[in-house]
Amino acid sequence: MALPEAVLAASRPYPLPAGFRPSYGTAGFRAVADLLHSTMFRCGILMAARALKTRQITGICITASHNPAPDNGVKLVEPSGEMLCQEWEAYANELANAGSDAELAAAVEGLLGREGIAAPGPGTVLIAHDTRPSGPGLAAAAAAGVRCLGLEPEMCGLLTTPQLHWMVMRRNRGKAAGEADYYAALAGAYAQLVAGTQPLGQTLYVDCANGVGAPKLAALAGQLAPAGLTLELRNTGDGVLNGGCGSDFLQKDRQLPSQFEGVAPGTRCCAVDGDADRLMYFTPLEGGGKALLFDGDRIAVLAAMLVKDLISALPGGAGADVRVGIIQTAYANGAASDYIRDNLGCGVEVTPTGVKYLHEAAHRYDVGVYFEANGHGTVLFSKAFLAQMQQLAGESKAAADLLALSVVINQAVGDAISGILMVEAALRRRGWGLPQWAALYTDLPSRQLKVKVADRAAIVTTDAETRVAEPRGLQAAIDAAVAGVPRGRSFVRPSGTEDVVRVYAEAESQEAADALADAVARLVH
C-alpha cells in the first residue's frame, strides 16, 4: 500500500476536533486530554519520519508535566535524546493542524518528499507516558501513527520524561538502556561522588507530586541507601496529580505541599513535578504553612560550585582554561544573577524561556550549567572535555569524579532524579546542610501573575523576552512602573504552554514586588 493511502486509512479514528488548533509550544503540544488523540496520532507519524530520516531511534513522551491532571501533552525526543530539533517544529504544527485525512496524507507526502525519506528503513520510536489516566489511550494513538510509516513502535509504558530521553540517547549510542540500567548508572555514579564523605545524616523528604516520580524514586531508593542516602517519599499517588503538591505548586505559592504539615522546620525536603523533570528543594518555615525555597537558580549555583571545585583539583594546568558557563532565563532571581557574576567567575547568559534555548546555549561551553528558576535544568559536558577527563581519570580523582558527575546528571535533558543526586552529593562533599546553602545569597522578593487576554500573541518580546517590542508603548509604560521601585525589575511574555500572558516582578520588599506585578498586569489587560 502506498504511504499516503496508509495514512488516510489509519487516521480515520483520529479526526482533528472541530475548532481545535494545536500549537507546538515551549515544550511540545498541550491541551485537555480529550482533544489530543489526533495530535498524538500525527506526532507518531512525525517521529517515525524523524526516525526514518536519521535511521535512528526517536521518542514520544505523553505528559502535561506540572499542568492539571485532566490535561495532557507530548514531548518529542530527537535521536540524541534532546528535544525535537527546532526545524521540525514547523512540520509538527503542519501535521497537527491538517483539517482532514486527505490534507494530512498530503502533508505527510510533502514532508517525506522534502526530507528525501524513502520508507521503510531502520529506526523505531519509543513511546512512554506519565500517570495521567489518559496516557495509555494517547500512547496507542501515537503508536498507530508510527505504524503508518511501516515502523513498529516500542511501548515503554510508565516512565519519567527524562528516563525516556535518557533511553533514546543510550540506545542510539549502543549502550545499555533499560530502566534498571538507568538506576544502576545513577546510583553507581552517586556512590562514587560521595565516597569517603560523611552522610548528611538526615532523611530527605521527597514530594512526588502524586506523579510518575513516585514509583521511579521508590525503585531507585534501595540502591541509594548503601551510599548513605535515605529517601522518604510523600504524595506518592494517593492524591491528585500536581494538586496542592509538586515543584510548581511550591514555586508559585511558596506554601508547604500537602503531607508536609508535620515535617519539622529545617528538615531537608525536595519536590519534583508531574513528570519528574523539575526539582525544587525546600524546608518548612517556623510558624507553619510556608516554605523556604531552594529554586533552580540556587541549584545552578550549587552545581557550578561543585564543577568549579572539581576542575580546580585537576592535576597540572588541566583545569586552567576549561570554559564553565551558567545559562538562565529572565525569570532568574536578580540576587542569584548578582551572586554568580560577583563570586563564581564563570560566564552568565540569558536566553528566552524554554529548555530548548538553554540547552543549546549550554552546549557552547566545556561545562554548561542551565536551570530555569522553576527547577528544570541539567549540566552538560562537552565531548572533548569528557575525553580529556577519561585520559586523566587514572591519575586524578577529580577527573574521575567529573566523569561520575556527567553520569549522575542526565546529559539528554533536565532530570529531577539526577538533580536530587547532584544536590545531595554537592552538599555532602562540602559538609553543608541547608543553612549554608541558603546563606550564599538572599532571594529578592518576587511575584509571578497570569493574565488572561483576548490574544496573547499580540505581545511580541525581544532581548531574551526582557523587553516588549509590540504593542508599541507597552514597554515604556512598564519602564515607568519600574522606575523608582528599589531593586525593581519586571517583564511580561506570552506563555508557550498556557493561554495566558505571564507577568514577573521583583523588588526589595515583597509588598513592592506584589504592587509592581499588579501594576504591570493592569498594563497588559
Binding footprint of ligand NG1 on the chain (CB under 6 A): 26-27, 65, 331, 353-354, 372, 374, 376, 495-498, 502
From the list Zn ion, ligand NG1, none, partner contacted by residue 213 (C-beta under 5 to 8 A by kind): none
Q: How far is the CB of 46 from ligand NG1 (least distance, A)?
A: 19
Q: Is 277 annotated as a binding residue?
A: yes
Q: Is 406 annotated as a binding residue?
A: no
Using CB positions, name the residue nearest to Zn ion. Answer: 65
Q: How far is the CB of 247 from Zn ion (least distance, A)?
A: 8
Nearer to Zn ion, 97 or 160 (CB): 160
Q: Is 373 annotated as a binding residue?
A: yes
Q: List beta partners, residue 208.
A: none
Query: What residue ranges bind Zn ion (CB under 5 A)?
Result: 65, 273, 275, 277-278
From the list Zn ion, ligand NG1, none, partner contacted by residue 495 (C-beta under 5 to 8 A by kind): ligand NG1
Nearer to ligand NG1, 181 or 498 (CB): 498
Exposure letters 139-176 (e unless 16+ CB within 10 A, then b): bbbbbbbbbbbebebbebebbbbbbbbbbbbbbbeeee
Q: Is 304 annotated as a binding residue?
A: no
HSE-CB of 381 using CA atoms within 13 angstroms: 23
Q: How far is the CB of 493 from ligand NG1 (least distance, A)?
A: 7
Distance from C-alpha of 481 to C-alpha of 513, rounded to nearest angstrom: 11
Q: What are phi and psi of 353, to 5 degrees?
A: -60, 145
CA-based nearest residue to 335, from 491, 465, 439, 479: 439
Grid cell in block for residue 510: 515583597
User: Which are the catalytic amino acids?
Assistant: 65
Nearer to ligand NG1, 26 or 56 (CB): 26
From the list ligand NG1, Zn ion, none, partner contacted by residue 331 (C-beta under 5 to 8 A by kind): ligand NG1
Nearer to ligand NG1, 3 or 27 (CB): 27
CA-based nearest residue to 179, from 233, 223, 141, 140: 223
Contacts of 123 (CB under 8 A, 6+ apart): 48, 51, 52, 54, 55, 56, 57, 58, 151
- CA torsion through residues 115, 120, 126, 130, sign: positive
Cβ atoms of 108 and 7 closer than 8 Å = yes
Q: Is 418 annotated as a binding residue?
A: no
Distance from C-alpha of 469 to C-alpha of 462, rounded to nearest angstrom: 6
Distance from C-alpha of 204 to C-alpha of 369, rounded to nearest angstrom: 24
Q: How far is the CB of 303 from ligand NG1 (least distance, A)?
A: 18
From the list ligand NG1, Zn ion, none, partner contacted by residue 44 (C-beta under 5 to 8 A by kind): none
Q: How far is the CB of 280 from Zn ion (least distance, A)?
A: 12
Grid cell in block for residue 92: 509538527
Q: Is 341 annotated as a binding residue?
A: no
Nearer to Zn ion, 275 or 465 (CB): 275
Residue positions in the annotated binding site? Answer: 65, 273, 275, 277, 372-374, 493-497, 502
**What residues form the annotated binding site for Mg(2+)?**
65, 273, 275, 277
Mark the binding-site residues for substrate, compressed into ranges: 372-374, 493-497, 502
